[in-house]
Amino acid sequence: MQYNPGWNGSSVNLLHVQAVGPGDSLHYVWSSIGAPTVLLVATQSPSSALRVNWTQLLSASPAGAIWIDPPDSVVYSTAVVFTKLFEFSEAKPLGELFYPTYNLSEFSWDSLNHTLNHTALTAELRGAPATDPSGGFSNGSLAFRVTAYEAGGREERLPSLLHTADSSQLEFVLAGVAPRGNSSRFLLEVATVEEAGAERRLRSERSIDDEYTPTIFEVLSLVAQPQNGSSTLGFLQWKATAYGSRSPRREDGIQCRAQGLQAANWSLPVSSVVQAYFGDSLGSTCTISALNVSFGGEEGEVYQEKRYLSWSVLLGFGEPPRDTFSPLVISITAVALGTPLAMLLLGSCLVLLAQRRRYSEYEPIN
């Protein structure tokens, strides 16, 4: 993990996380320069390196300021940009009432270096609007918590996402922000950037197993696939829930909905990292898609009471991890289904044995 590689200042945030394998390497570049962004690059060289021209990156024309060396080692690259936070209330009988939008590219962000933990492989990017006329952020903040992994496993805290060494977890946290309505709900806009030949698709999978995330049976994945193939290049994965507590429990669940993936015909907000890496192709050959994720029940009262919201999403390369039944669940299922079957077989044997004994008392008639 490197903070602002090649730059001594802390007025801007750029975190480079690299995972090196025997024949390849993966790069995650997190930044708050412009809108909060993560750039994901997979290479076929274990010695590939991130290069940053800081003078150009912080200029008005950042195109070409970020690249991977050697350039021909790159096999796949994409970006995820967190663009806006909407707040609305379903006021009756007027319908949905939207308040002024929080544009994340206009936020002021704390130095990420203060929260960087090289042992736990974690960091936190925390910010608030540069101008806040409503005062909603006077005692609150918005944060993105990043966790990298050295091996596969499962997070202990709900929603207990299953991860691999090729993935990282991002936790979106809204804490102490005063809602502007009596039944406010929040909606986060997420944009993705794909190079020519790849496109994003939203998948929903349901399972009867809620062992690791009680009462939640749906997992959503925003996968990147080649336009002429079925293999998966990268993904965002999350469970259909958020939580309203710093130590989440089942009863702290907040409804989470994805409102459909759409092709974005608007330009991205100022996001220097995306422009610095993709350059001129950002407005020509790249495909930009947008997804809205909303939080809150029908009345939106969970956040009103606790003033806390956390949503976890996994980002990575290749196929997203899939949960399977644990040995405990398999054992319980086997006992639950096997016991009635064993009793049925035993009963049938007893009936047959009883019938044989009953008729064996008589001699056959010649």
pTM: 0.88
Can you say whether residue 153 is alpha, beta or left, with left for phi > 0 and alpha for psi between -120 and 50 degrees? left
Instruction: Tell me which amino acid residue 355 is.
Output: Q
Q: Which residues of 207-246 are buried (b: 16+ CB within 10 A; e: fewer)?
A: eeeeebbeebebbbbbbbbeeeeeebbbbbbbbbbbbbbe
Strand partners, 184: 89
Q: Which residue, 59, 110, 102, 70, is CA-closest to 83?
A: 102
Q: What is the pLDDT of residues 91-111, one digit of tens each?
A: 665 567 889 999 999 999 999
Which residue, among 163, 159, 68, has the nearest Cα to 121 in the 3D structure?
163
Cα 40 to Cα 197: distance, rounded to the nearest angstrom: 16
Cα end-to-end span (Å), the chain: 95
Residue-wise pLDDT for 273-316, tens only, equals: 999 999 988 878 899 999 999 998 654 466 888 899 999 999 99
Tokens of 214: 């009680």
For residue 365, give every residue at least 6 positions away whose Cβ sits within 8 Å of its Cβ, in sequence order, or none.
Answer: none
- Separation between Cα atoms, residue 158 and residue 311, nearest integer Å: 10
Closest CA to 37 of 245, 221, 282: 282
Map residue 300 onto helix, strand or coil. coil
**Conformation bin of residue 337: beta by default, left when phi > 0, alpha when psi is -120 to 50:** alpha
Query: What is the β-pairing status of strands 162-163 and 198-206?
Result: unpaired
* Residue 128: predicted pLDDT: 97
Distance CA 95, CA 255 (A): 19
Beta carbons within 8 Å of 3's beta carbon, 6+ residues apart: 13, 14, 15, 16, 112, 113, 116
Q: Which amino acid is at 131?
A: T
Instruction: Look at the chain and count its residues.
Output: 366
From CA 323, how far away is CA 213, in angstroms rounded? 11
Ordered per-residue pLDDT tens for the chain, 366 residues: 999 999 998 899 999 999 999 999 999 999 999 899 999 999 999 999 999 999 999 999 999 999 999 999 999 999 999 999 999 887 665 567 889 999 999 999 999 999 999 999 999 999 999 999 989 999 999 999 999 999 999 999 999 999 999 999 999 999 999 998 877 889 999 999 999 999 999 999 998 888 889 999 999 999 999 988 878 999 999 999 999 999 999 989 999 999 889 988 666 766 789 999 999 888 788 999 999 999 986 544 668 888 999 999 999 999 999 887 656 556 666 666 767 877 888 888 888 887 766 555 556 676
pLDDT at 67: 98
Question: Hey, how many other C-beta atoms are within 10 angstroms of the C-beta on 63?
Answer: 17
